[in-house]
């Protein structure tokens, strides 16, 4: 069984993330959605809230697991017997940061491969940070996040 880890902050999960998860499931037998605990960013939602929102958002998708991790991503991947890390690539600025991380991860554990997938182009310029900004300014984010995430964002 081939398992991949899809790591991220997921603060909150967006439709772009879900698009990547569904594509990864075409390639891998199992995908672990792994919420980073150590992220240095000041998060809007707690790790628990983020996991709960993900669980609800992907409850109809099979062959996935939701978890959190701290420490090195490659150590977490090894522990869970994952052979690959999944990353979505949208834009040139993504590209360089992602390559830096992928090369570093390869140096730290050369057995774990990083696999890049391309989201639907309608999600090209979507990320959690712009979603949080639009909500805070009073904009409608129905196109960008699942229904349950939209509700949680409105509460904040």
Region 30-49 residues binding a second copy, contact defined as CB under 8 A: 38, 40
Peptide bond into 12 cis (omega under 30): yes
The radius of gyration computed from the CA coordinates of the chain, to the nearest angstrom, equals 15
Nearest Cα to Cα of residue 86 among 129, 31, 39, 125: 31
Q: How far is the CB of 28 from a second copy (least distance, A)?
A: 8
Least Å distance, CB 86 to a second copy, is 10
Residue 146 near residue 57 (C-beta atoms within 8 A) = yes
- Member of 59, 100, 151, 156 binding a second copy (CB under 8 A): 100
Is there binding between residue 117 and a second copy (CB under 8 A)? yes
Beta carbon nearer to a second copy, 56 or 98: 98
Enzyme catalytic residues: 17, 41, 90, 128
Q: Would you count residue 61 as binding a second copy (CB under 8 A)?
A: no
Nearest to 124 by CA among 102, 83, 152, 95: 95
């Amino acid at each position: 069984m081939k398992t991949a880890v899809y790591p991220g902050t997921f603060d909150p999960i967006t439709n772009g993330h879900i698009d990547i998860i569904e594509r990864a499931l075409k390639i891998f037998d199992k995908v672990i959605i792994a919420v980073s605990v150590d992220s240095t960013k000041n998060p809007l939602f707690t790790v628990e809230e983020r996991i709960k929102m993900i669980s609800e958002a992907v409850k109809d998708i099979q062959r996935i697991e939701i978890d959190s991790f701290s420490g090195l991503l490659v150590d977490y991947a090894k522990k869970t017997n994952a052979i690959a890390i999944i990353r979505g690539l949208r834009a040139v600025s993504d590209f360089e940061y992602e390559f830096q991380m992928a090369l570093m991860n390869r140096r730290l554990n050369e057995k774990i491969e990083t696999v890049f997938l391309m989201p639907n182009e309608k999600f090209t310029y979507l990320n959690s940070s712009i979603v949080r900004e639009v909500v805070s300014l009073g904009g409608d984010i129905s196109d960008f996040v699942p229904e349950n995430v939209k509700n949680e964002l409105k509460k904040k």
